[in-house]
């Protein structure tokens, strides 16, 4: 009798292969290796409330179930997507009943996607975490610093789960292929090293994604076995099963900000290769190219400025080009700008001067404009001294005049200090020359 296809099992392979103990759990050695914090906490039986933060498919739910088993606690699974405060109250009531009947009966309250809970919903179980009625284990793919209320976060230990390594994924795949009770062992499928390497690359650190692709590929191979007699999971079968690799990304989440930060810092450090890599990582993950364009325009002023005035022109031109061509053709213009900005001379003088000016305005308030640089379109304004003693630059030698353009309280302040990088070195030399001329004139007048 021909065995059933893997997909004829109603339970997905990823769920069937969920590890039940630490020996079958692969990855997260920074937490679970000998002597590491979480392992020691589990062995001691003293477990605080936890927030498990990491990308999809890194073992957050599996780890929570293992924690419950090792602590002999009642495990309550709760989805922040599907449930609300009403369900929380029911769980609280049941936990209170268990405690009344057996004071040693502990409840592990696992909240999947805890970041989906609003602040008021998170408030609903805060008192019960404080009282010790249950131990909270929250799982999130989002940065808990922004998504979990501060009182709750302060009562939990945050554990960071990393994407699984290729070696971890290989162990998971081999276990699934060999397990005859829950996995694919009954089918006697084999996977060659090159196919296994390709699969782990496709999975991108996500065990669930890895097992989903493996299960579909196994189904394709088994359907063709009657004709070929071959039980090998090939690269072609994996390509067919995956269709397109999905990169780990969330346009509004932590990974979004990680990638744009990596792009910005690679540009600032004048690394065109790193900059181009992070640019296309965002593009291939589905980021809006216009969002990236906006950041490039900002970068042109913030980190390059007058060191290369053409940088801002280039950044704006690439945005116009993208709007005209669209994707994918217009993305090349943005890539050109990425390389241009990365290789341009850098200066944050404009950015620094702007911050200093705003800080000084905040400290000094609304200082009045000196009368000599006020406009005087009416007779009354002239009578009040508006424009009096103003020196018209074009009437003076070199187009330079010795008059202050700041309120008296800020006389002598220097906000913009150009560097010697790129075109800004020309500006620096020009300002130095002008200041020398004006100082010489003052010296002559004093003589």
**pLDDT for 2:** 47
Please tell me the distance from the alpha carbon of residue 372 to that of residue 164, in angstroms, as a whole number.
69
The mean per-residue pLDDT over the stretch 273-286 comes to: 90
| Range with lowest mean pLDDT among 7-11, 16-20, 195-199, 213-217 | 7-11
Name the token pair of 302: 């913030």
Three-state secondary structure along the chain? CCCCCHHHCCCCHHHHCCCCCHHHCCCCHHHHCCCCHHHHHHHHCCCCCEEEECCCCCCHHHHHHHHHHHCCCEEEEEECCCCCHHHHHHHHHHHHHHHHHCCCCCEEEEEECHHHCCHHHHHHHHHHHHHCCCEEEEEECCCHHHHCCHHHHCCCEEEECCCCCHHHHHHHHHHHHHCCCCCCHHHCCEECHHHHHHHHHHHCCCHHHHHHHHHHHHHHHHHHHHHHCCCEECHHHHHHHHCCCCCCCCCCCHHHHHHHHHHHHHHHCCCHHHHHHHHHHHHHCCCCHHHHHHHHHHHHHHHHHHHCCHHHHHHHHHHHHHHHHCCCCCHHHHHHHHHHHHHCCCCCHHHHHHHHHHHHHHHHCCCCCCHHHCCCCCHHHHHCCCCCCCCCHHHCHHHCCCCCCCCHHHCCCCCCCCCCCCCHHHHHHHHHHHHHHHHHHHHHHHC
Looking at every residue in the chain, the average pLDDT score rounds to 86
| 25 has pLDDT over 70 | yes
Please tell me the distance from the alpha carbon of residue 404 to that of residue 150, in angstroms, as a whole number.
51
Beta bridge partners of 51: 138, 158
The mean per-residue pLDDT over the stretch 49-71 comes to: 89
| Range with lowest mean pLDDT among 19-23, 238-242, 350-354, 395-399 | 395-399
Report pTM.
0.61
- 16 with 182: CB under 8 angstroms? yes
Does 272 or 441 have the greater pLDDT score? 272
Question: Could you tell me the pLDDT band of residue 230, with boundaries at 50, 70 and 90?
Answer: confident
Pairing type for strands 135-140 and 157-160 reads unpaired
| 170 has pLDDT over 90 | yes
**pLDDT for 275:** 94
Q: What is the pLDDT of residues 252-261, one digit of tens each?
A: 566 778 889 9
**pLDDT for 253:** 61
Q: What is the pLDDT of residues 377-416, one digit of tens each?
A: 888 888 888 888 888 888 888 888 888 888 888 888 888 8
**pLDDT for 1:** 37
**pLDDT for 82:** 66
**pLDDT for 295:** 94
Name the token pair of 382: 């002239």
The mean per-residue pLDDT over the stretch 365-381 comes to: 86
Question: Could you tell me the pLDDT band of residue 343, with boundaries at 50, 70 and 90?
Answer: very high
Phi, psi dihedral angles at 381 (to 5 degrees): -65, -35
The mean per-residue pLDDT over the stretch 188-208 comes to: 92
Of all residues in the chain, the percent with pLDDT exceeding 90 is 35
Question: Could you tell me the pLDDT band of residue 284, with boundaries at 50, 70 and 90?
Answer: confident
């Amino acid at each position: 009798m021909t065995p059933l296809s893997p997909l004829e099992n109603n339970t997905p392979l990823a769920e069937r292969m969920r590890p039940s103990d630490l020996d079958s759990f692969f990855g997260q050695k920074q937490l679970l290796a000998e002597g590491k914090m979480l392992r020691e906490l589990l062995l001691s039986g003293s477990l605080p409330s936890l927030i498990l933060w990491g990308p999809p498919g890194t073992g957050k739910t599996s780890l929570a179930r293992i924690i419950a088993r090792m602590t002999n606690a009642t495990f309550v699974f709760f989805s922040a997507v599907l449930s609300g405060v009403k369900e929380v109250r029911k769980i609280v009531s049941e936990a209170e009943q268990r405690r009344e009947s057996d004071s040693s009966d502990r409840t592990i309250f696992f909240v999947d996607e805890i970041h989906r809970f609003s602040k008021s919903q998170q408030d609903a179980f805060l008192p019960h975490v404080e009282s010790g009625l249950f131990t909270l284990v929250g799982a999130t793919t989002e940065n808990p610093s922004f998504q979990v209320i501060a009182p709750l976060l302060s009562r939990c230990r945050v554990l960071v789960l990393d994407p699984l390594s290729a070696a971890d994924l290989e162990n998971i795949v081999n276990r699934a292929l060999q397990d005859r009770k829950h996995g694919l062992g009954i089918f006697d499928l084999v996977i060659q090293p090159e196919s296994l390497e390709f699969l782990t690359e496709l999975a991108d650190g996500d065990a669930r994604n890895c097992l989903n692709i493996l299960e579909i590929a196994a189904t394709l191979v088994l359907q063709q076995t009657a004709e070929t007699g071959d039980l090998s999971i090939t690269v072609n079968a994996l390509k067919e099963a995956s269709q397109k690799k999905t990169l780990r990304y969330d346009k509004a989440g932590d990974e979004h900000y990680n990638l744009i930060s990596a792009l910005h810092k690679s540009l600032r450090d004048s690394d065109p290769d790193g900059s181009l890599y992070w640019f296309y990582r965002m593009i291939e993950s589905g980021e809006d190219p216009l969002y990236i364009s906006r950041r490039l325009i900002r970068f042109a002023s913030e980190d390059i400025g007058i060191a290369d005035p053409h940088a801002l022109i280039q950044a704006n031109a690439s945005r116009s080009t993208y709007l005209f061509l669209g994707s994918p053709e217009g993305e090349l213009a943005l890539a050109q700008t990425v390389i241009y900005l990365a290789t341009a001379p850098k200066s944050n003088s404009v950015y620094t001067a702007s911050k200093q000016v705003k800080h000084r305005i905040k400290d000094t308030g609304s200082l009045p404009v000196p009368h000599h640089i006020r406009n005087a379109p009416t007779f009354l304004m002239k009578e009040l001294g508006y424009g009096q003693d103003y020196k018209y630059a074009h009437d003076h030698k070199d187009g330079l005049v010795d008059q202050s353009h700041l309120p008296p309280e800020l006389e002598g302040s220097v906000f913009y200090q150009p560097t010697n990088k790129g075109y800004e070195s020309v500006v620096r030399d020009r300002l130095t020359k002008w200041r020398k001329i004006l100082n010489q004139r003052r010296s002559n007048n004093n003589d």
